[in-house]
A and B are shown apart, each in its own frame.
Chain A
């Protein structure tokens, strides 16, 4: 199914914060993970994740360190800072309320 790209672009920040709330990841890993969990829905233009990650790092939501991946390759891992954790919780709450509202609307429409 084709989604409006703009719709997805607006979710990049929430996506990153949600994934990193679970554990530290590197960029490609996040892309793969998002695609896997959304059963292919979140197939972003992959390059857009880098400006978003760098921006969040600069604003103090994330911090990055180079370390080895389980495959033995050197990867740049991102983790949430305490500010990032707070932001992740806040975004999560916003999304949940928005989704509930959307579900109510769509549900009503179907009914």
Chain B
């Protein structure tokens, strides 16, 4: 009898903790716009290490003057890299599609895809990439996403980074009286060769009204259109 009660109690506790764990998992699905007013910014004075300051000074000496109408990589369709893809504030939304195995984040600008694994902890032998390799775990109602293997950016870049960069993001959702449903992401950049201390930014995104979808964004489309319109032989139907 005592054993039966113990088994029942154990089963009930396990079931309860399972329910609580499920309930703690927030649903981030939907289309989100960056909230320019509520979001944080990169610090004006970033805590660069002495070595990085020296590297940046050297880079500037070798490459100035910089003409941003020509030398800006984003203007030239080079897409964003994490964490900038989360911390940049544009008019473009992103969409989160969540499944039990993985969270996909589809950005409109540059049509980029982030993949956040919820189950696998395997890193494998993977090359660094703009979005890096992300794994997540739940801490209460927060999803903690840790990303490594992010493609490093050179010393002269607006946001230089090293191969050691590690980005930790804490995702949570809630309601706001002003803007309705909100997604909050606290972004912490750990990069000891670049920064003397972690850089923290708190980003806020608001839920898009119903019916809004992430659009098709093809960087360089205007160049192709000009080329195409210059010759009717390129379109047989006109």
A binds B: no
Residues of A within 8 A of B (CB): none
Residues of B within 8 A of A (CB): none
